[in-house]
Every structure is written in structure tokens, then in C-alpha cells.
Amino acid sequence: MVTENAAVAAANAADKPDQDSFVCYFEGGYVPLGDARISIMTHAFLYGTGVFEGIRAYWNPEQKQLYALRVQEHIVRLRNSCKIMLMADVPSVEDFSNIVLEVLRRNNFREDAYCRPSVYKSTKAIGVRLHGLSHDFYVLGVPFGDYIDTEKGIAVGTVSWRRVSDTAIPARSKITGSYVNPAFSKTEAMLNGFEEAIVLTQDGHVAEGSAENLFMVRDGVLITPAVSDEILEGITRAGIIELAEHLGIKVKERSIDRTELYIADEVFLCGTGAQISPVSSVDHRPVGDGRVGPVARLIGKTYFDAVRGRLPEFRHWVTPVYKSE
Ligand code: PMP
């Protein structure tokens, strides 16, 4: 039985922003979100030939500051996705990052927010291909809270769908059309009563969640699938590896079998949207004793302090959006 949990509520809130009250960047200028419209003939709409990023910004109430998280890293990955999709001529990392920060600034967000830059094939044409098409881009921003639970631990289930392989659609780029695959996975998991999916690679190894990378803890070592295991090269994943090194926790990148998750001491998912989301059970088997374990708790706490600009060691992760008052 599926109820309206935090994930559904957050997704619905993001689905129905009060469009007139938000400003976005669209094809060369800042306009109300409701005025940013594309033709139904747009190639990216017809064939899913766009790339995108999801960037979070965190409100720090003590400092009255909004911190945008890992903006440059997201723009570097976006530009890599563009390269893979034969979209040259995109703004520099600096120029693109400045547009993201300006969208947040113009919306004057004083709460947690989500920014989506997207570059997409803008030619109005029937005909499936990548080459010989023009492209354009937008950056939108909306308020955004938790996407999935980050406190009590979630129940996850392995789904029957497989992660789209790098031999079919490039795994390391965020291509809009490829998100039909995680949509199938997430919905199968949720309709089966789980909160999130575990998705396997074609050869049966653990890849990731529907939109999250995965870590497990065995014998005190943090283990995560390697970047050649059909995963998105997650920015949160890289951040956790950095955090773990800072905290003195050993990290190993290697393939993970499904049943290793059944006997792991801890499992957690991570991503820009999901943040750090401890897993309490996998395929109805409790992880450890079913409670949030010490490694996930420590990493979670450190992560949430870092993203709100509270840890000097991790200030390089965040960019203040507003001038200090
Ligand atoms: N895997 C997939 C398929 C995703 O969509 C995301 C979200 N971008 C992630 C993993 C996590 O990546 P990141 O930490 O960069 O948000």
C-alpha cells in the first residue's frame, strides 16, 4: 500500500511551483518560469536529447546565507554530458555557474532550494540523431525540502528492471531521455511497498538507487561500486569519499553483489536530491539490527553541517549566494 510519503510530497511540491513567483534563465534572459516555454516540435521534447543537473542550495538561518552546493562540479559534469551528446559551444564553467547563482539570487530564496540547469537540442525537427542540431539552455530554481527520508532509514527493494547500460545510453551523463529507466525502477519499488529501488547492472551487480549512489559498510570499510559499474559518477558519492578520508574511514571502490547487501553492517544511499539516506532493510531483510548505524550517522551529520557552510574544512563545497549582511 503506497501512501503519500515524503518522497511523493516533495515531488508533488516541485511539480506545482507557483510559476509566476519564480524567475528562471531561459534561452538568453531571466524570465518568469511560466513564460519559459518550448515548442512541442523541440528535438529534446520529441526524443529526450537534453542533459541536466540537479543542484541544491541550503539556507543557513544563523548566517542568513544561502549556500549553493558544489556548483562548479555540477557544471563540469553538465559540460561533460554535453560533450558526450555532441553539444559543443556551451558557456564556460565560470559563466554557467554564475547564471545558477544569479537564478538563486533573483528568486531571493530564504529556504532550501533546488536548481536545474539543462542544455537541450533545440532544433524543431522530426528525425532521431545527435548531430547537426542546435542547442540552447535554461536554469530553473524552486524551493525544495527532503526528497527521501534522511533520519529513520528506508526500506528498499531490488527491482526487476536493470540499470541502462553504458553500451546503450552513456551511464555517466545525465541525459533526460535516460531517466525513463530510473522512473520504471522507482515506480516498481514504490508500488511494491518500498521507499526506494536498488537497481542492478546487466551482469547482476549492484549499480545504484533510482537517482542515488550506494554505499555499504562491511567490517568497518565503506564500499561503493566503481565508476565502471554503470553508475552515475555522483558528486555526493565523491563528497562522501572525501568526508570518509577526513573522518579516517577506509573506502573501497569495487563491484557489490546483491546478497552482500543482506549481510552488510550498514547501507546508505546518497545523492544531491536524496542527500544521505540510511537504509533500514533490503528486500525485507533488516540491515544490521535495522537501526541507523554509526557510520551512516556520522557521515550524515558531517554532511549536513558541511552543506550548510558550518564546517571550515568543507567550505570549498559551498558558494554563498548573497553578499554578507
Ligand atoms: N545516480 C543517478 C541515476 C542520479 O540521477 C543521481 C542524481 N544526480 C545520482 C546517482 C546521485 O548523483 P549526485 O550525487 O551527483 O546528485
pLDDT at 3 over 90: no
- Exposed/middle/buried for residue 61 (C-beta within 10 Å: 0-12, 13-18, 19+): exposed
Of ligand 1's listed atoms, the one at least distance from the Cα of 182 is 3
Ligand 1, atom 9: nearest CA belongs to which residue? 212
In whole angstroms, give the CA distance from residue 261 to residue 252: 15
Residue 234 Cα to ligand 1 middle (Å): 5
Q: Which amino acid, residue 140?
A: L
> Hey, CA dihedral for 92, 95, 98, 102, is it positive or negative?
negative
Q: Which residue's CA is the nearest one to ligand 1's atom 4?
A: 211
Q: Counting atoms of ligand 1 from 1, which one is nearest the CA of 231?
A: 1
Pocket test for ligand 1, best of 174, 232, 277, 299 (most atoms within 8 A of CB): 232
CATH assignment, 17-143: 3.30.470.10
Cross-strand bridge partners of residue 266: 217
pLDDT confidence of residue 220: 96
Confidence at residue 2, expressed as pLDDT on a 0 to 100 scale = 37
Residue type, 244: A
Which residue type sits at 194? F
DSSP-H helix ranges across the chain: 6-15, 43-47, 71-84, 93-107, 180-191, 235-247, 258-263, 294-307
Whose Cα sits closest to atom 11 in ligand 1?
A: 271
- Atom 6 of ligand 1, nearest CA residue: 211
| E strand segments, the chain | 23-26, 29-32, 50-52, 55-60, 65-69, 113-121, 135-143, 154-162, 196-200, 206-208, 213-218, 221-224, 251-253, 266-271, 275-282, 285-286, 318-320
Residue tagged 533573483 (cell numbers) = 106
Measuring CA to CA, how many Å separate 69 from each of 277, 315, 316?
18, 10, 9
Average pLDDT, the chain: 94
What are the angstrom distances between the C-alpha of 254 and each of 113, 200, 207, 231, 266? 33, 14, 11, 12, 16
What are the residues facing 31 on neighbouring strands? 24
Among 1.20.200.10, 3.30.420.40, 2.40.10.10, 3.20.10.10, what is the CATH number of 154-307? 3.20.10.10
pLDDT band for position 236 (50/70/90)? very high
Nearest-CA residue for atom 10 of ligand 1: 212
Instruction: State pLDDT tens for residues 117-145.
Output: 999 999 999 999 999 999 999 999 999 98
Residues within 6 Å of ligand 1 by CB: 54, 182, 208, 211-213, 232, 234-237, 271-272
Grid coordinates of 170: 552513456
Q: Which of 282, 272, 152, 256 is nearest to 212 (CA)?
A: 272
**Cell for 154?**
528506508
Q: Is 174 a catalytic residue?
A: yes
Residue-range domain boundaries for the chain: 17-143, 154-307
Confidence of residue 151 (pLDDT cuts 50, 70, 90): confident
Non-local CB neighbours of 275 within 8 Å, separated by 6+ positions: 56, 146, 147, 150, 236, 300, 303, 304, 307
For atom 12 of ligand 1, the residue with the nearest CA is 234
Cell for 273?
536530491
Give this prediction's pTM: 0.94
Of 174, 250, 252, 301, the catalytic one is 174
Q: Which pLDDT does position 1 carry in this prediction?
A: 33
Nearest atom in ligand 1 to the alpha carbon of residue 208 is 1
92 C-alpha to center of ligand 1: Å? Answer: 22
pLDDT digits 0-9 by tens, 8-66: 455 555 555 577 789 999 989 999 999 999 999 999 999 999 999 999 999 999 999 99
Give the Å distance between the CA of 272 and the centre of ligand 1.
7
pLDDT at 152 over 50: yes
Higher-pLDDT residue of 6, 211: 211
Q: Rounded to the nearest whole angstrom, what is the distance from the C-alpha of residue 271 to the centroid of ligand 1?
A: 5
Q: Is the pLDDT of residue 4 over 50?
A: no
For residue 282, CA distances in Å to 5, 27, 222 come to: 19, 44, 17
Closest atom of ligand 1 relative to the 236 alpha carbon? 14
CA 289 to ligand 1 center in whole angstroms: 28
What 3-state class would DSSP assign to 285?
A: strand
Distance 125 CA to ligand 1 centre (A): 30
Residue 171 confidence class, pLDDT cut points 50, 70, 90: very high
Specify the pairing of strand 65-69 against strand 318-320: antiparallel
User: For the chain, what percent of residues have pLDDT higher than 90?
Assistant: 90
